Amino acid sequence: MPASIIDGKAVAKTVESEVSAAIAALPFRPALVAVRVGNDPASEIYVRSKAKKAEELGLRGHEAIFPESMSEADLLAEIARLNADDDIDGILVQLPLPKQIDARKVIDAIDPAKDVDGFHPHNVGLLHLGRPILAPCTPAGCIRLIESTGVTIEGAHAVVLGRSDIVGKPMAAMLLQRNATVTICHSRTRDLGDVTRQADILVAAVGRPIIVTGEMIKPGAVVIDVGMNRVDPAFADRIAHDADKSRLLAKNGSVLLGDVDFAQAREIASWITPVPGGVGPMTIAMLMKNTVTAAASRRRT
């Protein structure tokens, strides 16, 4: 029997309902500011969607847009201004930043209490100590997706493919806190398939299209595909084994593929996220949840 689809849009709606209820219980409307430097079309769409979703749920969402030529000093000064503004509860800076700006310096400059992306070293440290307040949104969303299946994380062998600071490492930490046995794989892992085939829960977050094929998956595994890879349609036709091409999102002449061969994996796994419509909607939903958490914690309501 083919794997059941984990509907990220439906789970995100549940999280959004929780956010709206939490906002209604507050005596103020939390404010989220999304900072964007430059005119990258993908970043523009993503930042705008965050601000729009914030307004839909009852938050105050704002975009702070600056030219590509902005200096590092000027951006750091803007972050300092937002930190000092008591009316702002959440700050996120859209990455990547222009080459003249050190992204690490900018992230480190954000007040940890307003760091709704969960990237500041203070929040990273709390996460790995098992005391998270503001956890990175994508892995937090993955946990909610896994939990939505009813599959028990405790005692399971979870394999995380990818070791990025944004997804792979915090994902492993969150699974470990839920008493999974966790293995992290990466580009230097020997016999990758031998490791992934041991996974009761497999999270693919390496950013390479169709790197996980059917023979790399344990029968009955839960598969979470974090990959969002835009590729040439001809390349997609060569590497994807998906008979339902309508599932693939064609945009601007490109095709969106995950890290997992969906068609093959669905014949082996018990649960699987699609791309698109799986992890993607959860990232923004968890960002909204973090903003409310930050507001309530910071203002001690």
- Do residues 176 and 153 make contact, with C-beta atoms less than 8 angstroms apart? no
pLDDT of residue 240: 66
Q: Is the pLDDT confidence value at 125 over 80?
A: yes
Query: Tens of pLDDT along 25-68?
Result: 999 999 999 999 998 777 777 788 888 899 999 999 999 999 99
Structure confidence at residue 298 as a pLDDT band (50, 70, 90): confident
Closest Cα partner for 277 from 224, 238, 236, 202? 224
pLDDT of residue 258: 93
Query: Tens of pLDDT along 12-22?
Result: 999 999 999 99
Q: Answer yes or no: pTM beyond 0.85.
A: yes
Which of 50, 114, 169, 289 is the catalytic position? Answer: 50
Domain range 136-281, CATH class? alpha beta
Report the sign of the C-alpha dihedral through residues 96, 99, 104, 107, in that order. negative
pLDDT of residue 49: 84
In this chain, the answer to whether the domains covering 27-111 and 136-281 adopt an identical fold is yes
Q: Is the pLDDT confidence value at 8 over 60?
A: yes
Domain residue limits, the chain: 27-111, 136-281
Fold of 27-111: Rossmann fold (3.40.50)
If one compares 265 and 228, the residue with the highest pLDDT of the two is: 265
The answer to whether 259 is a known catalytic residue is no
Q: Kindly calculate the radius of gyration of the chain based on its CA atoms and give it in whole angstroms.
A: 19
Q: For 235-242, what is the mean pLDDT?
A: 68
pLDDT of residue 187: 86
The answer to whether 50 is a known catalytic residue is yes
pLDDT of residue 45: 78
Q: For 162-176, what is the mean pLDDT?
A: 97
Q: For 249-275, what is the mean pLDDT?
A: 87
Which of 115, 117, 200, 259 is the catalytic position? Answer: 117
Structure confidence at residue 252 as a pLDDT band (50, 70, 90): low
The answer to whether 261 is a known catalytic residue is no
Q: Is the pLDDT confidence value at 244 over 60?
A: no
pLDDT of residue 243: 47
Closest Cα partner for 170 from 199, 201, 130? 130
pLDDT of residue 246: 45
> What tokens were used for 110?
């954000």
* Segment 262-268 long-range contacts (CB within 8 Å, at least 24 positions apart): 262/225, 264/213, 264/214, 264/215, 264/217, 265/3, 265/212, 265/213, 265/214, 265/217, 265/223, 266/2, 266/3, 267/2, 267/3, 267/214, 268/3, 268/214, 268/217, 268/218, 268/219, 268/220, 268/221
If one compares 228 and 273, the residue with the highest pLDDT of the two is: 273
The length of the chain is 301
Which of 53, 94, 200, 225 is the catalytic position? Answer: 94
Q: Which residues of 118-146 are buried (b: 16+ CB within 10 A; e: fewer)?
A: bbbeebbebbbeeebbbbbbbbbbbbbbb
Query: Tens of pLDDT along 128-163?
Result: 999 988 999 999 999 999 999 999 999 999 999 999
